Every structure is written in structure tokens, then in C-alpha cells.
Amino acid sequence: MRNTFALARRELASHFTTPWAWVVLTAMLAIASFFFVAMLETFKSVHAIAREVSWARMGPDAQVYRNLTDGIVVQLWGVVMIITLFIAPFLSMRLFAEERRQKTFELLMTTPVRPVEIVLGKYLGALVMVFATLGVTIVFPVVLAIFGTGESGSAVEWSTVLLGFGALLLWGATCMAVGMFISSLTESQMVAAFLTFAVLLPWMLLRGLAQSAEEPLRSIAGYLSFEQQLQPMMRGVLDLQALVFFASVIILSLFLTHRRIEAFRWS
């Protein structure tokens, strides 16, 4: 494990000693802030209308705006999920592709470090990076909790907020695992980023893409869809099936990456 943590620290240092990590953090915060302010304005507008016509006469779509958690935070987590889909490929693309392009991967393979330690070390470093990127978004429910008001005294339902945030972390961990495997397949960072996005996007939208398919294909596609698996947790419902699903994808991606690194020893 000592080698694993040493590689994780090395990976983190390579991220945070370059402007790229700070650009990604800033981009996440800036884009999420834009949508947060827009959602806050929509929330205020809906409440202004409700004061004039009453909630009973408002349509079903407006009912989610009755509290800050459903009206803003849950919707914001959905936006952050999409942002992560675009950011994660650029965080994971350099994990192995850059090493191979700079010819430092061969040097790494000659050190007394096992392939499993290389994979886990790089993945742990990548996890810290993506968790830091997603972690900046927790400031938004904190702002609502400080300045907002709720019917029960608490502005936000923290159980729902934190479970949704946990779903985002799980999503980020999955994206990085898939991206790391794809990064191990090529020497080009941009090719790795493009392929990661090309894999994650259809995988997320699999349920919608298979709506016209026959059973049982439609049900299978729905189960395999990232979006369908994430939705219950994003709304504050703990779903053990989703935990098993994402854990399986992460473990499979790490296993495939390990086999890919093992193959370099024989090539």
C-alpha cells in the first residue's frame, strides 16, 4: 500500500502543480454558479406567482418549487452531473496517455511496483481530483441553509442533499474509472478524452435511446443506463441496486486497466 499512496501523491502533485487542475475547478464553480443563480431566480419567480394565485392552482410542474431542496438543490445536482460528464474525460485523459507519450511509462514499469499498485495509485489520485472538483459545489446548499428559510425551520433537507451529493461522487468515481481504462489504450490525451466522452454519453442516455426497443431489451437498457441508476439517489432515495451497479462498473474498469498494464510487461 505504501507504493500505492506514493503513486497517488505523485499523481496529485502532477495535477495541482499545473494550471489545468485549477482551470477545471474554476470552470466547475463558474458554470455551477451560473445555473445556481438562474435556478434561484426561477424559484423566486414561481413563489411570486404562487402568492398571487395560490399553490393549489399551480400546475404539477410548479410543485417542486415549494421547497429549496427540490426546487434548487436536486435540480442543481442534475446539472452538475452533466458538467461532470464533460469534465471527467479531461481529468482522466492524462492518467496513462501522458505517461506513454512522454516515454515515462516504461521507466515506471521498471520500478519495483506491481501493476495493481500502479492502477490503484493512479486511481486514488484521480479520485481526489474529481472529488475536489465536485466538492466545490457543496457551497451552494450551504449558502441556501445560511440565508434561506424553510417551512420546518431548516432551509434544506440535508439528508436529501447529502445523498444526492454522494450520488455525484459515485458518478465522478465511475467516470474516472472508465476514463482511466480508456487512457491506458492510447498515447493521445485528446483521443482518450474523446473516447471517454463517446462511451459515457450514450451509456448515460441508454434508457432514452432504447425507448423504441422491444422487451426485454428496453428493460435491460434501462437497468444499464447511468441516468436511471442515479435518479433515485439524486432525489434522496438510497438505492442499494445503484450502489452495486456503480461498484461493479468501477471494479470492472479497474480490472481491465490492470490487465492492460499487465500486457505491457509482455509486449
pLDDT at 150: 58
Cell of 230: 442515479
Q: What residue segments make up the domains of the chain, in order of their start?
A: 2-265
Q: How far is CA 238 from CA 161, 170, 255, in A?
A: 12, 13, 27
pLDDT at 238: 85
pLDDT at 105: 67
Cα dihedral sign, 136-142-148-154? positive
Write out the chain's pLDDT in tens, 267 residues: 777 888 788 877 777 777 877 888 889 999 999 999 999 998 888 878 777 776 666 666 667 777 888 888 999 999 999 999 999 998 888 888 777 776 666 666 677 778 888 889 889 988 999 999 999 999 999 988 888 665 555 678 888 899 999 999 999 999 999 999 998 888 888 888 899 999 998 888 877 766 666 677 777 777 788 888 888 888 888 888 889 999 999 999 999 998 988 887 666
For residues 97 and 191, give the distance between their C-alpha atoms in angstroms, rounded to a whole number.
Answer: 9
pLDDT at 266: 65
pLDDT at 56: 65
pLDDT at 106: 66
- The number of angstroms, rounded, from the C-alpha of 242 to the middle of its chain's C-alpha atoms is 14
pLDDT at 162: 92
pLDDT at 60: 67
pTM here is 0.89
pLDDT at 152: 53
